[in-house]
């Protein structure tokens, strides 16, 4: 055997020598030929399109509904599918690509240990190496403040009044937690534990309230962002290490985190200050219809831009009396100063730093974790929309309850309560046989449909002021179902409580289809696409029946239909369920939470480092990519020699 291999042996050596020579020459050209300083000053941040994607790959639309179907949702799905495919195909596949994109987008070198982050992410089979814009969005303003001041603010938050837990990393370990009794802190510490070995000494302030905390006025934020933009640098030489920071010495600077009590007040009063001067939130005289058309389909009322549907600068005035967080929140303790607080969710004007919610990392929490034992194939599921939850969302008394989002939703799906005179607009087929696939807006009496097509109720009626007696004749609780029993239904709707709902990952991972309305942003938003992975819904729910009749269909002659007919799109619903499941098992895993946390903590550690402009990873990434190739080549070679 060895004899047959013998004559081939010199080849790899020749090849290596040849490549080495090429690399040497390229290096020489690069070193001598490129004016690094000149390049740095000319860096312009623009949307990146550095990698070619074959158009066929995006236009391939085998999982699209029928061409002839002109329902507005079909067109929306087609657009979003293209966006998603493009997004997926444009993900980097090597370290060199990741850092090239990083520098182009953010105008800086990646933070120290970024190479370790990449190895960590690869090991965990990360499918979306570029999906981390949220981290930069959250941290950019802090480049407008000196690092010592940021650290002093963390210190200043170390009081019970601040309602934060402070977690400390010392000597590459999670050393202690101040106010650890807050339930969120335990899981947060667990997440940090996985990556602490890579991190410098850090103090991290974590919000333990449900509600987000920070709203910096728009004008001030723009100043901070301008400083950040002006100070972007990519020095030729950097240290790929964090500095040693003495956090315990940060007490020197006295700062006031500026918290104040705002529970139950009109949140738009402070939120609108965080909005641009030309926005609807600050110019209520603008035409709401025109504003709405920027994110909502003018014909069917379907959400075209889910991100914008929760933008309080656009929608806030319309929603301010329809969402508990905005008009009757039970605990709002905000600050209008730019302070570094890590939180699980926020509204678009908040400056909290998002981290993956604890509920997404705790496999033992049966109220939120996906348990496949309750799930089954699509065709075995009940053809209904299902929801259970408690009466949360804000302070409930006899004057506020009917405007809280969960109460509104339960009321508008209650067939008994709806009665015969309530109507909603749906999109009905224009002709009896639907031969031309055209639809037209039609009034619809949903009372009977709601009885048949929905199973929505509170599981518990609690936390009312002064007590829940006033709800006795208006609501009835249907307790007793475990969370995993939700998966017996085809359509699972997710509605905000005091803040985000925490069920979302489980819904996406299941074989059921998710429907979502929310005003809250979370860490994963950028990786999920409406109409591809879930059906988006307006926070006013005015599109609910148009949505449900599209997916479930409305038979000719059904009670309340007044002769209207909507063809069923069960296959399209199943496709959404399948796509969300497939994608969620790639990008919403426990590992993905760790990958996000790792990158987030590296960025945070850099922005609080006195040396932040001179530390970072300044290489071209080739040595890390070579490791992977070596690994592969080495294995091949070993197998080859041992034949
Ligand atoms: C705290 O910082 C000051 C100035 O940076 C330094 O002079 C002093 O020695 C430090 N104190 C401790 C206890 O490290
Ligand atoms: C609401 O409750 C308050 C006391 O909690 C009572 O005075 C008032 O009459 C009630 N209003 C209605 C409309 O029931
Ligand atoms: C509602 O309409 C149905 C038929 O469409 C009718 O049988 C029923 O009596 C009506 N109920 C009321 C309260 O008007
Ligand atoms: C539906 O409304 C009726 C009348 O308002 C009420 O008695 C019933 O409890 C409600 N059902 C649910 C599930 O809340
Ligand atoms: C949502 O919109 C804002 C403002 O246009 C943008 O900065 C942000 O990146 C968007 N988020 C997502 C997830 O698309």
If you take atom 1 of ligand 3, which residue's CA is the nearest one? 420
Query: Which two structure tokens, joined as six digits, stand for 439?
Result: 């639809």
Closest CA to 357 of 174, 590, 145: 590
pLDDT in tens, 74-111: 999 999 999 999 999 999 999 999 999 999 999 999 99
Q: Which long-range contacts (CB under 8 A, 24 or more apart) does 77-80 make?
A: 77/531, 77/532, 77/572, 79/531, 80/529, 80/530, 80/531, 80/532
pLDDT score at 61: 53
Query: Which two structure tokens, joined as six digits, stand for 232?
Result: 């972007």
- Residues in contact with 519: Cβ distance below 8 Å, sequence separation at least 6, in sequence order: 310, 312, 315, 319, 323, 325, 326, 347, 496, 539
**3-state class percentages of the chain: helix first, strand second, coil last, to nearest 5:** 45, 10, 45
pLDDT score at 11: 54
CA distances (Å), origin 54, targets 51, 59, 84, 97: 10, 9, 14, 18
CA distances (Å), origin 587, targets 125, 264, 332, 584: 10, 37, 32, 5
pLDDT band at 17 (very low <50, low <70, confident <90, very high): low
Q: Is the pLDDT of residue 185 over 50?
A: yes
pLDDT in tens, 595-612: 999 999 999 999 999 999
pLDDT score at 556: 86
Better-predicted residue by pLDDT, 216 or 183:
216
Q: How far is residue 568's CA from residue 555's CA, in Å, rounded to a whole number?
A: 9
If you take atom 7 of ligand 2, which residue's CA is the nearest one? 398
pLDDT band at 298 (very low <50, low <70, confident <90, very high): confident
**Ligand 3 pocket: which of 418, 419, 420 to mutate (most atoms <8 Å of CB)?**
420
Ligand 5 contact via 526 beta carbon (within 6 Å): yes
Scored b (16 or more CB within 10 A) or e, 531-563 reads bbbbbbbbbbbebbbbbbbbbbbbeeebebbee
pLDDT in tens, 41-60: 333 333 344 455 555 555 55
Please report the sign of the dihedral spanned by the C-alpha atoms of residue 421, residue 424, residue 430, residue 431: negative
Q: How far is residue 156's CA from residue 143's CA, in Å, rounded to a whole number?
A: 19
| DSSP class of 242 | P
CA–centroid distance for 251 within its chain? 35
**Ligand 4 pocket: which of 404, 476, 477, 478 to mutate (most atoms <8 Å of CB)?**
476
Q: Is the pLDDT of residue 37 over 70?
A: no
pLDDT band at 222 (very low <50, low <70, confident <90, very high): very high
Q: Identify any residues that bridge with 342 across adjacent strands, giving them in sequence order.
A: 206, 353
Q: How far is residue 19's CA from residue 226's CA, in Å, rounded to a whole number?
A: 45
Q: How far is residue 337's CA from residue 227's CA, in Å, rounded to a whole number?
A: 16
Q: Are 410 and 421 in contact (CB under 8 A)?
A: no
Average pLDDT taken over every residue of the chain = 88
Kindly give the number of the ligand 5 atom that is closest to the alpha carbon of 307.
1
Better-predicted residue by pLDDT, 606 or 253:
606
Closest CA to 501 of 514, 512, 485, 490: 514
Tell me which of 119-128, 192-201, 218-227, 551-560 is least confident.
Answer: 551-560
Query: Which two structure tokens, joined as six digits, stand for 71?
Result: 């329902």
pLDDT score at 41: 31
Largest CA distance in the chain: 92
Phi, psi of 185 (to 5 degrees): -65, -35
CA distances (Å), origin 257, targets 49, 158, 269, 271, 338: 40, 10, 20, 18, 8
Q: Is the pLDDT of residue 195 over 90?
A: yes
Q: Is the pLDDT of residue 418 over 80?
A: yes
Ligand 1 contact via 637 beta carbon (within 6 Å): no
pLDDT score at 254: 74
**Ligand 5 pocket: which of 84, 128, 276, 307 to mutate (most atoms <8 Å of CB)?**
307
Tell me which of 15-19, 450-454, 557-561 is least confident.
Answer: 15-19
Helix (H) or strand (E) run with residue 513 in it: strand 513-517
Q: How far is residue 543's CA from residue 552's CA, in Å, rounded to a whole number?
A: 14
Q: How far is residue 138's CA from residue 130's CA, in Å, rounded to a whole number?
A: 16
Query: How far does the centroid of ligand 2 lie from the alpha carbon of residue 466, in Å?
Result: 10
Kindly give the number of the ligand 2 atom that is closest to the alpha carbon of 470.
14
pLDDT score at 608: 97
| DSSP class of 485 | G
pLDDT score at 64: 62
Tell me which of 28-32, 127-131, 321-325, 458-462 is least confident.
Answer: 28-32
This prediction's pTM: 0.88
Burial class (CB in 10 A: 0-12, 13-18, 19+), 347: buried
Q: Is the pLDDT of residue 631 over 90?
A: no
Kindly give the number of the ligand 5 atom that is closest to the alpha carbon of 521.
13
């Amino acid at each position: 055997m060895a004899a047959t291999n013998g004559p081939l042996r010199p080849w790899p050596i020749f090849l290596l020598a040849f490549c080495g020579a090429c690399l040497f020459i390229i290096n020489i050209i690069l070193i001598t030929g490129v004016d690094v300083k000149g390049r740095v000053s000319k860096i312009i941040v623009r949307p990146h399109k550095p990698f070619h994607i074959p158009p066929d790959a995006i236009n391939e639309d085998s999982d699209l509904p029928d061409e002839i179907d002109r329902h507005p949702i079909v067109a929306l799905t087609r657009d979003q599918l293209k966006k998603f495919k493009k997004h997926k195909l444009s993900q980097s596949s090597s370290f060199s690509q990741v850092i090239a994109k990083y520098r182009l987008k953010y105008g800086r070198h990646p933070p120290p240990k970024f190479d370790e982050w990449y190895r960590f992410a690869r090991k965990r089979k990360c499918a979306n190496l570029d999906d981390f814009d949220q981290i930069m969005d959250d941290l950019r303003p802090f480049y407008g403040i000196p690092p010592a001041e940021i650290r002093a603010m963390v210190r200043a938050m170390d009081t019970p009044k601040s309602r934060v837990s402070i977690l400390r990393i010392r000597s590459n370990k999670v050393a202690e937690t101040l106010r650890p009794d807050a339930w969120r802190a335990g899981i947060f510490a667990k997440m940090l534990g996985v990556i602490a070995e890579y991190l410098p000494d850090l103090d991290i302030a974590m919000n333990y309230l449900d509600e987000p905390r920070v709203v910096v006025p728009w004008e001030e934020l723009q100043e901070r962002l301008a400083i950040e933009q002006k100070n972007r640098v990519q020095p030729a030489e950097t240290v790929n290490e964090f500095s040693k920071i003495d956090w315990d010495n940060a007490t020197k600077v006295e700062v006031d985190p500026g918290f104040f009590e705002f529970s139950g007040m009109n949140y738009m009063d402070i939120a609108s200050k965080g909005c641009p001067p030309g926005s609807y939130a600050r110019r209520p005289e603008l035409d709401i219809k025109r504003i709405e058309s920027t994110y909502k389909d003018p014909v069917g009322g379907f959400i075209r831009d889910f991100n914008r549907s929760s933008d309080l600068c656009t929608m806030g005035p319309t929603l301010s009396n329809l969402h508990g967080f905005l008009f009757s929140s039970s605990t709002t303790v905000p600050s209008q100063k730019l302070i570094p607080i890590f939180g699980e969710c926020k509204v678009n004007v908040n400056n909290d730093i998002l981290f993956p919610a604890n509920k997404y990392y705790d496999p033992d929490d049966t109220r939120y974790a996906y348990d496949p034992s309750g799930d089954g194939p699509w065709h075995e599921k009940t053809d209904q929309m299902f929801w259970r939850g408690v009466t949360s969302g804000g302070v409930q008394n006899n004057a506020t309850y009917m405007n809280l989002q969960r109460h509104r939703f339960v009321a508008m799906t209650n067939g008994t309560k709806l009665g015969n005179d309530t109507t909603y607009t749906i999109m009905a087929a224009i002709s009896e046989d639907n031969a031309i696939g055209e639809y037209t807006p039609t009034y619809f009496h949903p009372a009977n449909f709601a009885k048949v097509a929905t199973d929505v109720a509170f599981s518990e009626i609690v936390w009312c002021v002064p007590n829940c007696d006033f709800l006795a004749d208006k609501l009835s609780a249907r307790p007793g179902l475990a969370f995993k029993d939700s998966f017996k239904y085809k359509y699972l709707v997710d509605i905000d409580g005091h803040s985000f709902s925490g069920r979302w990952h489980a819904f996406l991972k299941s074989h059921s289809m998710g429907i979502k309305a929310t005003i809250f942003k979370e860490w994963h938003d950028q990786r999920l696409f409406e109409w591809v992975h879930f059906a988006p819904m307006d926070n006013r729910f005015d599109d609910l029946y148009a949505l449900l009749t599209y997916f479930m269909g409305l038979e000719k002659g059904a009670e309340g239909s007044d002769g209207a007919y909507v063809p069923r799109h069960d296959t399209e619903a199943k496709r959404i369920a399948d796509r969300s499941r497939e994608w969620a098992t790639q990008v919403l895993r426990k590992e993905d939470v760790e990958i996000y946390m790792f990158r987030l903590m590296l960025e945070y550690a850099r922005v609080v480092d006195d040396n932040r402009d001179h530390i970072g990873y300044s290489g071209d990434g080739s040595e890390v990519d070579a490791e992977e190739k070596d690994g592969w080549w080495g294995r091949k070679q070993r197998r080859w020699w041992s034949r």
